[in-house]
Amino acid sequence: MVSSGQQNYYNKLETILTELPWYVEEYIDTKSRKLSAASLVNYCHDFKIFFNWLLAEGLFDGSIKDIPLTLLEKLTVLQVESFLSYLKFQLSNKEITVNRKLSSLKSLFGYLQNIAETDDLQPYINRNVMAKIDFNDVSESPETTANRMEGKILLGDEYETFRVFVSEGYLETVIDDKKKTNFYHFNRERDIAIISMFLGSGLRLSELVGLDLGDIDFNKYNARVIRKGNKEQYVYFSEQAMWDLQDYINIRIERYKVEKNNKALFLSAPMGPKGTSRRLTPRAIEKLVEKYAIAFGKPSLSVHKLRHSFATRYHAEINDVPKLRRQLGHSSIQTTMIYTHIQNEDLKNAINKLNMPKE
């Protein structure tokens, strides 16, 4: 059964595909069995950026939808490298983001060359320029990743302090601004529940956005989510998250004027002439977290950093990497191992002892 959150992504996918060439839609169809709708939308956004760049560079005179396969087949390595430079220097994409967009294009071009066939069993393109392009080297040791991350996540007492700040302390920072104060009072229970769910489960942004009311099991303290690869999984969340979520649900229908067919868990304030509530968008939740993080005095804290904060806390309390890997939905245990390098007090204490004078 497709949740309304997933259906929302499918609707977005259908819309963006109408703007892209026919062979992209064919490619997306082949990926739909293995990838979530959210991932497919991200792929299409990457393709749209690339195709728009082709038009801006004067490589094709027409609309994106009409870009022919012959153009893709004749692209040079220098032209693709120029596009990657555009991503980095014009769009200010980090190297890891450039790699992700390049990976999307490699996948599309690989399909066109190696999988797709014409009626006479010929590949759609014979030359694949993307196969000649290397990814940026952004590899680093788990220790380096952990050290870079450590100053940007919640550690120790900050974990609960941040939640309490959202619950109580934030109001003091906006008390002189009537508009912000009223907005906070209106959304307080919702915002606390969102922060608690991130801190109490380690969910990804797309997973939390896609939650429907029926996905929550309060008896088992878990939530049904659609993970990467379009995999369904039941993820546990903390008692505190459950309590905060229940407080929000108690006021959800009346305060947000929820229509019967709206199953989305987290909603925006009623908008428009009819006062309709809609599912919170990923960007709205990012801005929500950003607002509280800045007021808290930790502006580097983001949705993804809350996920890292949960993982670090989990490892410190339980020290069970396989279980943490499942909770986070990592495909590789090497990704999960990063959290074993954060706040390694045993190692730190051992090194400190080397500097102690002998008695």
The residues assigned a catalytic role are: 204, 228, 304, 307, 330, 339
Residue 304: strand, helix, or coil: helix
Q: Which residues of 121-147 are buried (b: 16+ CB within 10 A; e: fewer)?
A: eebbbeebbbeebeeeeeeeebeebbe
Q: Among residues 33, 12, 16, which one has the least CA distance to residue 24?
A: 16
CA of residue 122 relative to chain centroid, distance? 38
- Cα dist from 296 to 164, 170, 186, 293, whole Å: 10, 8, 20, 5
Query: Torsion angle of alpha carbons 72, 75, 81, 87, nearest 10°?
Result: -40
Give the contacts of 320 (CB within 8 A, at least 6 positions apart).
none
Residue 267, strand partner residues = 279
CB atoms within 10 A of CB 228: 15
- Cα dist from 275 to 5, 190, 258, 278, 309, whole Å: 20, 18, 10, 10, 36
